[in-house]
Structure 1
Amino acid sequence: MKEFYRVMLGRGSMYAHECREQGFIGADFDIQQDLTHELPDDWREFNKKFIPIYLQSNPGKSKIAAGLCCGFLWTVCKKIQIGNVVLSPDGKGKYFVGEVQSEYRFIPGADQPHQRQVHWFDETIDRSEMSEALRRSTGSIGTVSQISKYQEELEGLIKGEAPKPVLISTDETIEDPTVFALERHLEDFLIHNWAQTPLGREYDIYQDEENVGRQFPTDTGPIDILAISKDKQVVLVVELKKGRASDSVVGQIQRYMGYIAEEIAEDHQSVRGVIIALEDDLRIKRALKVAPNIEFYRYEVKFDLIKS
């Protein structure tokens, strides 16, 4: 099955035109060694070996940053397959589009030494032509984002067709598609208004110059929002219910928290969780009675008409 990825080519797309002219995508991350024989099928094995190497080159970085960067590097070098499609922003509102044509190669001394050959199409995609959901996914901070769920829209855009609106999710755990659609926008609202929320008084959304704690990758799926306390002592996992079954949400956040505790958090950091939903949910509240490190928040949607 063909997969689609958004790949940033350097900070601020600084290498995008060079990569297009020379027919490749690439990455760096301060790991200056040939990875040809260092790319296991399981990204966790790669991270276990290379997080210490990354931190040695970047002593001021956190394990969160190291985990993200190593995960992105493994994705560029290993997970993306021949025949997959990549979109890379040009820094001016358009996306170059190409098909991956080779396995990993290492080019010593290059600005982006970890490379994959790509056949770039003549067609580009203008960001303004994308649906709002696709713009959010392709505009997220981070080197790589998986955007295969927008395959139908992307194939249409590559052919020059206008996007079709999509509301319903195919996720079998979704009980209420309408709430699911609403809460996709809630994530955007929380990200942009975090400082005004109760959570924003104690926590900051994790962010550095290259990554942000939104759709943070784990081995059981992406965390909606990853935050860290202002004193850096607590890592917070935030999950939106998104119309899903209550038991599914509770189990998911516990798995995410377990991953963060085992793989990402520093020795001095604890892990807490927050579930956010539109309505009170007795099943979630019952489950959280025996999970004191997870809190439940309900949000309200208000709509006013103001005569002017």
Structure 2
Amino acid sequence: MPGNVFAGGFIGADYGIAQDLSGHLPDAWREFNKAFIPVFLAGHPDKTKIGAGLACGALWTIAKGIAKGDIVLCPDGAGSYRVGEVVGDYTYVPDGVLPHRRAVRWLDIAIARSAMSEALQNSTGSIGTVSNVSAYAAEIERFLGEVAPVTVIATDPVIEDPLAFAMEKHLEDFLVRNWSQTELSRDFAIYEEDGELVGQQYATDAGPIDILAVSHDRKRLLVVELKRGRATDVVVGQTLRYMGYVTEQIAEAGQTVEGAIIALEDDQKLRWALAAVPTVSFYRYQVSFRLLKG
């Protein structure tokens, strides 16, 4: 499949939606998902609502979300990623492989996966998935031989603890990589769809969920949010909003929804807030640092 897209000069998707999407691509992916999730499920009755949302979201991203001039990375199936520039708008090729297409000018550049940072490797996904790697623009531009842009850090009035905020930007990736060593793993696994780990930064109409997990018996869904140094009322409200969305839009019949908030420090305000919400648990994490003489 990768050879076809490189030789043909395009990126594309299928997902079993056999219709021209021209005129059906709103600016907001949520509107697209609302219209096409039922279409996807009608053709894939064995799929979950989560799988349907991921498929439709990825299809919208390829067809509409990616802009002309954007740089894309595509795995070549041999351990590297080809780099290309999107040069065309959406087209539909009903008799072709991956009929929902965007024209791409492939550059004579291949990035070995082994040369990428671990964070970028974790974010690039695999063949058949769509991932946003904009956060790694500086690293990608270094591969392209360009000067990395200046990074600007904006202040946010809801951030009460800048140190925790900085640490927890990396904690999410650490949790995902080491999930099996956490207490949560005894009952839950990070959500997977068709063998792909899709529960990290799961996109919803209510916002991106840090980690979406499911119990081993598939009867319970878990919304995991990192406090990230934010004010208690903000993180509790956000977690409850995500739980409400998952309950209404994602949970299958018989599935219950729970929440977990993870923070660096004990927080009495947070404990008071959660005392009234027994379905949300609170966890603290500890950081250990040692120097070993060589």
**The two structures share one fold, judged by TM-score above 0.5:** yes
1:212 is matched with 198
Gaps of 5+ in 1: 1-14
Pairwise mapping of residues 207-286 of structure 1 onto structure 2 (< 5 A)?
207-209=192-194, 210-286=196-272
1:46 is matched with 32
User: Given the alignment of the two structures, is residue 109 of structure 1 paired with residue 69 of structure 2, yes or no?
Assistant: no
1:4 is matched with none
Asked if 2 retains the 8 angstrom alpha-carbon contact of 1:169 and 1:177, the reply is no
CA distance in 1, matches of 2:213, 2:267: 24
| Displacement of 1:272 | 1.3
| Displacement of 1:280 | 0.5
Structure 1 length-normalised TM: 0.84
1:9 is matched with none
Aligned residues: 292
Identity between Structure 1 and Structure 2 (%): 54
Asked if 2 retains the 8 angstrom alpha-carbon contact of 1:105 and 1:116, the reply is yes
1:198 is matched with 183
CA distance in 1, matches of 2:53, 2:267: 34
CA distance in 2, matches of 1:249, 1:169: 21
| Displacement of 1:59 | 2.0
| Displacement of 1:149 | 2.3
Aligned-pair Cα RMSD in Å: 2.7
CA distance in 2, matches of 1:201, 1:302: 23
User: Which residue type is aligned with residue 39 of structure 2?
Assistant: I
Give the 3-state SS of the residue equivalent to 1:74 in structure 2. Answer: helix
CA distance in 2, matches of 1:21, 1:235: 42
| CA deviation profile, 1:131-176 (whole Å, cap 9, x unmatched) | 3332322247971122222223322321267x89x8x954624444
Pairwise mapping of residues 88-103 of structure 1 onto structure 2 (< 5 A)?
88-103=74-89
CA distance in 1, matches of 2:178, 2:236: 25
Asked if 2 retains the 8 angstrom alpha-carbon contact of 1:235 and 1:272, the reply is yes
| Displacement of 1:116 | 0.5
Pairwise mapping of residues 44-193 of structure 1 onto structure 2 (< 5 A)?
44-139=30-125, 143-159=129-145, 170=154, 172=156, 173-193=158-178
Give the 3-state SS of the residue equivalent to 1:146 in structure 2. Answer: coil
| Displacement of 1:114 | 0.6
Asked if 2 retains the 8 angstrom alpha-carbon contact of 1:68 and 1:211, the reply is no
CA distance in 2, matches of 1:66, 1:77: 16
1:301 is matched with 287
Higher relative contact order (CA 8 A, sep 6+): 1
Asked if 2 retains the 8 angstrom alpha-carbon contact of 1:137 and 1:145, the reply is yes
Structure 1 pair 243/140, CA: closer, same or farther in 2 (3 Å)? farther
User: Which residue type is aligned with residue 172 of structure 2?
Assistant: E
